[in-house]
Amino acid sequence: MDSTRPSPRTVAKNKGVGSARANVLADNQNVHKAVWAYESTQLFLQLIADEIVEGNRPFMVLSSAGYKSLAKKFEKKKAGKKHDVKQLKNKYACLKREWTAWIKLMDRTKGITGIGFDAETSMFQASDEWWDRMELINKSCAKFRTKTLKHRELMEIVFTGAAATARHH
């Protein structure tokens, strides 16, 4: 049976001046490509901590109003570089995964043993064999073999109580 469609399905171009698609495209034209440097991440976490204090995290995750407020404040502080809510949610989820992995390594009562922690360098110390096994089990934890958790104090404020670890995961 032959198809009468001349080409595969495509999204129609702007159908009219007042179309919803045209409005969405106009709103997103100024969205900045997210580049998360050290300072940007620090500002992001500080703004989330402020939103938590303002009551915009009722159920351990920012509300829609909280994310909209966060986006506006982030744009204002970053000299007009606009990030949409999806970009901010993705960064939040990424940082939360890092925090959860860090906490698993820090909390020896949850079953991970055979490592030490150097408070001076903020690095974990374990044998190469232990890290090799960890890489097979949990790649999120394994990345702390060669690096430390940045913005640790802010992450503690933002994610303590909001991230499920081990037993309650």
What tens digit of pLDDT does each residue of 63-88 get?
888 889 899 998 888 766 788 889 89
- Environment class of residue 121 by beta-carbon count within 10 Å: exposed (0-12), middle (13-18) or buried (19+)? exposed
Tokens of 37: 């440097």
CA–chain centroid gap for 118, Å, is 26
CB 154 within 8 A of CB 102: no
CA distances from 169 to 47, 89, 98, 148, 164 (A): 26, 20, 15, 23, 5
**3-class SS shares of the chain: helix, strand, coil, % to 5:** 55, 5, 40
Q: What is the pTM of this model?
A: 0.72
- What's residue 115's pLDDT? 83
Structural domain boundaries of the chain? 33-163
Q: How many Å apart are CA 93 and CA 90, to the nearest integer? A: 5
- What's residue 35's pLDDT? 77
Confidence label for 24 from pLDDT (cuts 50, 70 and 90)? very low
Phi-psi region of 28 (alpha: psi -120 to 50; beta: other; left: phi over 0): alpha
In the predicted structure, residue 148 carries a pLDDT above the cut 50: yes
- What's residue 29's pLDDT? 56
Query: Tokens 């906490």 correspond to what residue?
Result: 103
